[in-house]
Chain A
């Protein structure tokens, strides 16, 4: 096996190979100039992109992969500067080309797609018109009608539904996944020879990312394009790439074929990288047990609908049904997880749970009292006992207040203690969450995301809450920092008996920490089960689709091909009749179109909302 791998690697990365490479990078070095002098970002990068292949570049944040992908289109701006090396494309060195010639290649022969699809286009001009504008700019020989037709055909090729109509819609009417498809259209519409995809699946949900990967694979064959696929997720790169390059702090530490890299990694760093990919199934750790203590949070049939104005009709409103009939209970000292993709209603639910908004119908009881009816002093008193922690650690902290003052704020609001007591409490809690006492009088400038999130946690903990709602709290942190904070949450739980509600799209994290898990789709809980049942024997096709799409590097009980979802979740304005998941469900049958399945509660206490009996779904391909 190793012999065949070696030949494959050689053909892809050896300049003397018979097929002429699409792009060759030799000895590329990039520095960044700062006030403190020059710092090296990339040093001595050699790589070769073979025709009709996908080259994966993997590296953690800060490894220089975005700089590398931009250098490959000669698109670096000060303070970044290329100090030496060459990027040869089609017999020419891109780095020495005149700016005008380079601009002629960029977007026409070498296309680049970035990680931020939603802000990549002018928000005030329809998407199709902007793609047309680009096509006309790089291919002026096409007639306006032919160019328009080509854009619409390419929109169709990336399976954007009703492309003619979508052509005239604005970027804000596109979801992140649709927008990334549109950017792929924008890149491929001029038939480029090379496509550089820089972390393009990063902002997308797992099921959408899986679709995009498959799509890119198909298109690469149809359009005969070579792809450089850059990502920080090993699970994702390994799905698409032929050969891989591992980048660590600006150096290439390993190059191998994908199968070779996963099977026999050579460099220590690659081994670390593989070990760091969170394991969902191949883990020895037992998941947390459900608690049998008293019920802390009891949510019953909660509904929330928002109204938005309809631009197409006079004095009409449309109803966005964000949360529909959600019920669950959380027991003291338990970790409860709520998972689902963007737009499923998780965030609305967290706003309802933390009493920032009132539900339209239903009740939310905290220790037996309906929080919706509380007002004024009672509500303030209750607020002390449950706290909400959000995702963005930057905007949640006032930039002009010292860290000590920020953490003391809730105590001052609730009038708890005199100045010395408050200072003592703040210092205690800072020590508890691992913030150095010297930070007490400092401003938050210069704190890392992880430290900032600790400040947020300290600010919540200082009130000694009983329930913490963590709405994507750890999503913006890297793996290492995330693991440290999870340990902190665990310690606090043991010490203070806190109950956590984790709201997240991170299935690996939820697998590690939550005892019971609810899966949301279009504002509704489609499955509610304990951890092991959820991950090994889930009863709902949507849960299985989610799990099959998780980018991991281990064997999965659910095969991606069996559960791959088509399309996107429907708009919560136009929820289809019958089962709301049926439009994407691979197992939908007649009844699903008319009957909305109610939750079936099984003997083991788990529940799911599906017409199919639990045992009629395909058997998991891995046994527990």
Chain B
């Protein structure tokens, strides 16, 4: 118990520092890249004096650390600012008003935009991971338990095949086969759960090869450990040894892989897949924001992504140290 409290106190405080540093770097980079945000807010028609006036009013001429402090103050209350472009009622408003007509209240709040998009992305990610597990766990286990036999080769072939398919191409082919040609599943946009299935399959094909390899290597390595052999001589059955000991030990490297690599791959995958399928999640929101130079959205997504990575890694490490008490944190 004491261990859990200390673990979380330590890791949460480290995590907060990491997220603040990431936030500062992103915030600064977005403000030193060419292009004045006020020009994006007000559009090309606004006059120079109007720009300056409005920029000073919005605090955009303050030193970066002042702006950052103000921003972080808002973030702690859950307010990530307002979009430069998107209207509160939806749709883009950028460039259509002059200085007098601009009212920050008319723009959509970033937190609301993210809160709207997040459930869609979580649903897609969860289904993608579930599909990946469905493929990778049986194939990976088979390959690990029967090293050198046909299941091992099957694992190798499947993972080699999947790893060499570009996700954009897979997306297009699946849309063609499962939607356009056969009409089994809907593909573009979102009007119900069925719209998540094809994008999730694309994600799963991207995630599963790494999982298959990791599971088979980890399981095979544990079968080679002394404790496995000794367990059989001690009078335990192979089935018990695999179910109770090999899988448990094999889980530790898999958890670490999941925290360190899979979440990153998943985030990257979401952006591409959501864009291909016009799926209204965080990825789509971010890509549009990048095209429109809508900095508040970009920085909010980046900060949330780093916070999610930190949190997931913390949980993964906690699970690992709970399984294997030898691990230090």
Q: List which A98-121 residues lie within 8 A (CB) of chain B.
A: 103, 106-108, 111-112, 114, 116, 119-121
Known A-B contacts A120-B230, A190-B235; A311 and B245 likewise in contact (beta carbons under 8 Å): no
Give which listed residue, B6, B225, B226, B324, contacts A314 with CB less than 8 A.
Answer: B6
- Complex: A312 Cα to B325 Cα, angstroms: 12
A537 → B minimal CB distance (Å): 44
Say whether B92 faces chain A, with CB atoms less than 8 Å apart. Answer: no
Q: Considering the chains assembled together, what is the distance between the CA atoms of A103 and B231 in angstroms? A: 11
Contact B235 A103 (CB under 8 A): yes
With an 8 A cutoff between CB atoms, is A440 at the interface?
Answer: no
With A and B bound together, what is the CA distance between A369 and B252 in angstroms? Answer: 48
Identify which of B2, B226, B245, B328 contacts A313 (C-beta below 8 A): B2
| Nearest B residue to A108, CB-CB | B235
Per-position contact with A for B22-48: 1 when CB-CB < 8 Å, else 0? 000000000000000000000000000
CA distance A290 to B99 in the complex (A): 96
A-B contact count (CB 8 A): 81
Min C-beta distance of A228 to chain B, whole Å: 14
Q: Is A214 an interface residue (CB 8 A)?
A: no
Decide yes or no whether A281 CB sits under 8 A from chain B.
no
- Is A489 among interface residues, defined by CB-CB distance under 8 A? no
Q: Is the interface of B mostly helix, strand, loop or mixed?
A: helix
B115 contacts partner chain A, Cβ-Cβ < 8 Å: no
B235 contact from A106, A120, A123, Cβ within 8 A? A106
B230 proximity list for chain A (CB < 8 A): 114, 116, 120-121
**Are B2 and A120 in touch, CB under 8 angstroms?**
no
Instruction: Assess whether A170 is in contact with B226, with CB atoms less than 8 Å apart.
Output: no
Q: A133, B244: Cβ atoms under 8 Å? A: yes
B233 touching A112, Cβ below 8 Å: yes
Contact across chains for A122 and B245 when beta carbons are under 8 A apart: yes
User: Is B181 at the interface (CB under 8 A from chain A)?
Assistant: no
CB contact between B326 and one of A73, A108, A134, A170 (< 8 Å): that residue: A170
Per-residue interface assignment for chain B, residues 214 to 247, with 1 indicating a CB less than 8 Å from any chain A CB and 0 otherwise? 0000000000011100111111110010001100
State whether A75 touches B233 (Cβ < 8 A): yes
Whether A431 sits at the interface, judged by CB under 8 Å, is: no
Cβ of B248 under 8 Å from chain A: yes
The reply to whether B234 and A107 contact each other, CB–CB distance below 8 Å, is yes
Determine if A311 and B240 form an interchain contact, defined as CB atoms under 8 angstroms apart: no
B5 within 8 A of A: yes
Any chain B CB within 8 A of the CB of A172?
A: yes
Q: Is the CB of A312 within 8 A of B2?
A: yes
Whether the pair A125, B226 counts as a contact (CB closer than 8 A) is: no
Is A137 an interface position by the 8 A CB rule? yes
Residues of A within 8 A of B3 (CB): 311-312
Interface size in chain B (residues, C-beta < 8 A) = 27
Query: Among A106, A122, A314, which residue has its beta carbon within 8 angstroms of that of B227?
Result: A122
Which residues from chain A contact B231 at a C-beta distance below 8 Å?
122
Whether A122 pairs with B248 at a CB distance below 8 angstroms is yes
Interface string of B285-329 (1 = CB under 8 A from A): 000000000000000000000000000000000000001111010
A133–B325 CB distance below 8 A: no
Tell me if B6 and A124 are in contact (CB < 8 A): no
CA distance A133 to B230 in the complex (A): 14
**A138 contact set on B, CB distance < 8 A:** 235
Instruction: Specify which chain B residues have a CB less than 8 angstroms from the CB of A103 in the assembled complex.
Output: 232, 235, 237
> Cβ of A134 and Cβ of B235 under 8 Å apart?
yes
Per the bound structure, the CA–CA distance linking A75 and B2 in Å amounts to 45
| Interface residue? A271 (CB, 8 A) | no
> A309 at the A/B interface (Cβ < 8 Å)?
yes
Contact A133 B240 (CB under 8 A): yes
Count of A interface residues, CB-CB < 8 Å = 32
Q: Are A122 and B249 in contact (CB under 8 A)?
A: yes
Asked if B226 and A311 sit within 8 Å, CB to CB, the answer is no
Whether the pair A309, B227 counts as a contact (CB closer than 8 A) is no
B215–chain A nearest beta-carbon distance, Å? 17
A75 CA to B237 CA in the complex, in Å? 14
Contact B328 A309 (CB under 8 A): yes
Please, which residue of chain A has its CB at the minimum distance from the CB of B325?
A170
| Residue numbers in B under 8 Å from A312 (CB-CB) | 2-3
Kindly state the separation between the CA atoms of A186 and B233 in the bound complex, as whole angstroms: 11
How far does the Cβ of A125 sit from chain B's closest Cβ, in whole Å?
7
Chain A residue numbers with a CB within 8 Å of B236 are 107, 133-134, 137
Residues of B contacting A112 in the complex (Cβ-Cβ under 8 angstroms): 233-234
Complex contacts, B240 vs chain A, CB 8 Å? 133, 137
**With the chains together, A396 CA to B255 CA distance in Å?**
32
Q: What is the minimal beta-carbon distance from B2 to any residue of chain A, in angstroms?
A: 5
C-alpha gap A314/B237 in the complex (Å): 41
Complex interface bits, A181-204 against B, C-beta within 8 A gives 1, otherwise 0 = 000001100100000000000000
Which B residue sits closest to A312, measured CB to CB? Answer: B2
Say whether A106 contacts B249, CB under 8 Å.
Answer: no
Inter-chain CA distance A379–B268, complex, in Å, is 49
A315 within 8 A of B: yes
For B232, what are the chain A residues with a Cβ–Cβ distance below 8 Å? 75, 103, 106
- Whole-angstrom distance between the alpha carbons of A312 and B326 in the complex? 14
Interface pairs (17), CB distance under 8 Å: A75-B233, A103-B237, A106-B234, A107-B233, A111-B234, A119-B225, A120-B226, A122-B244, A122-B245, A122-B249, A124-B248, A124-B326, A133-B240, A134-B236, A172-B326, A190-B235, A311-B325
Query: Assuming A112-B233, A116-B230, A138-B235, what are 17 further A-B pairs, CB within 8 angstroms?
Result: A75-B232, A106-B234, A106-B235, A107-B233, A107-B236, A111-B234, A122-B231, A122-B249, A123-B249, A124-B248, A124-B249, A124-B324, A133-B240, A137-B235, A309-B328, A314-B6, A315-B6
